[in-house]
Amino acid sequence: MQELLLNLIPNVMSKLPVFYASIEQTLIMLVWSGSMSFLLGLLFGMAITVTKKDGVLENAFIYQILDKTTNFFRSIPFIILLAALVPLTRWIAGTAIGVEGAIVPLVFGTVPFFTRQIESALAEMDYGLIEAAQSMGSSPIEIIFRVYLKESVAAITRATTIMLIFLIGLTAMAGAVGAGGLGDFAIRFGHQRNQIDVTYVTVLVLVLLVTLIQITGNFIERKSTH
């Protein structure tokens, strides 16, 4: 088996420690950025939903701030956002390169996207459930936790799956500017040194990672649908 791999992917086999380290770096960026983006995106998406017109906590001022801020950051290409956030990244993480330096721009690039995904997920819910909860005297906080979040688990799971797959693409792009991970591995060896087997293996690993996330998301979504 090893001889076969040496013939098929010689450049990858000669760099296995670097390859494994790149996979680990991508997973670290995915876990940390994904976790923070999930919490912030869920918070902002919920806030936009409940403060909009006819929402349970209608507040035009807060809604406009959140809506315009989300649109602003969504309109900035990620590669430009990486450069623009260098001073802030250095202040927060102490560095603007490597995995640590990628977390901040990854969160800034993912949260606006996930916020809109959560907003769309919550919009799928039957408004009659909210009216029923209000008629029974439920407070806005109770409606948020017992109606919005409880009844939208499947839709939120679907949005989270999309967000994580989107984030994988951003981690690969961040690798192009020194963030490490599989993107850096593919560009540094596969592209710059024209080692085509490195590129193909990197693509294969990313496809497997996306497939695993999609399968897991579909399973959780099916289990939470009622």
Q: Which amino acid is at 166?
A: F
Residues in the chain: 226
- Across 7-16, 77-86, 159-168, 195-204, which has the greatest mean pLDDT? 159-168
| pLDDT at site 135 | 83
Residue of 36, 210, 48, 213 whose CA lies nearest to 116: 48
Contact 128, 87 (CB under 8 A): no
Structural domain total, the chain: 1
What's the mean per-residue pLDDT of the chain? 88
Q: Given phi > 0 = left and psi -120 to 50 = alpha, else beta, which region is 77?
A: beta
Q: Range of 117's domain? A: 2-224
Residue written as token pair 């001073």: 87
Task: In whole angstroms, give the CA distance from residue 225 to residue 156.
Answer: 11
Taking only the tens place, the pLDDT of each residue in 24-76 is 999 999 999 999 999 999 999 999 999 998 888 889 999 999 999 999 999 99
Task: In whole angstroms, give the CA distance from residue 215 to residue 161.
Answer: 9
SS3 label, residue 224: helix
| pLDDT at site 226 | 57
Task: In whole angstroms, give the CA distance from residue 125 to residue 147.
Answer: 9
DSSP H or E run through 55: none
Q: What percent of the chain shows pLDDT beyond 90?
A: 46
CATH number of the domain to which 81 belongs: 1.10.3720.10
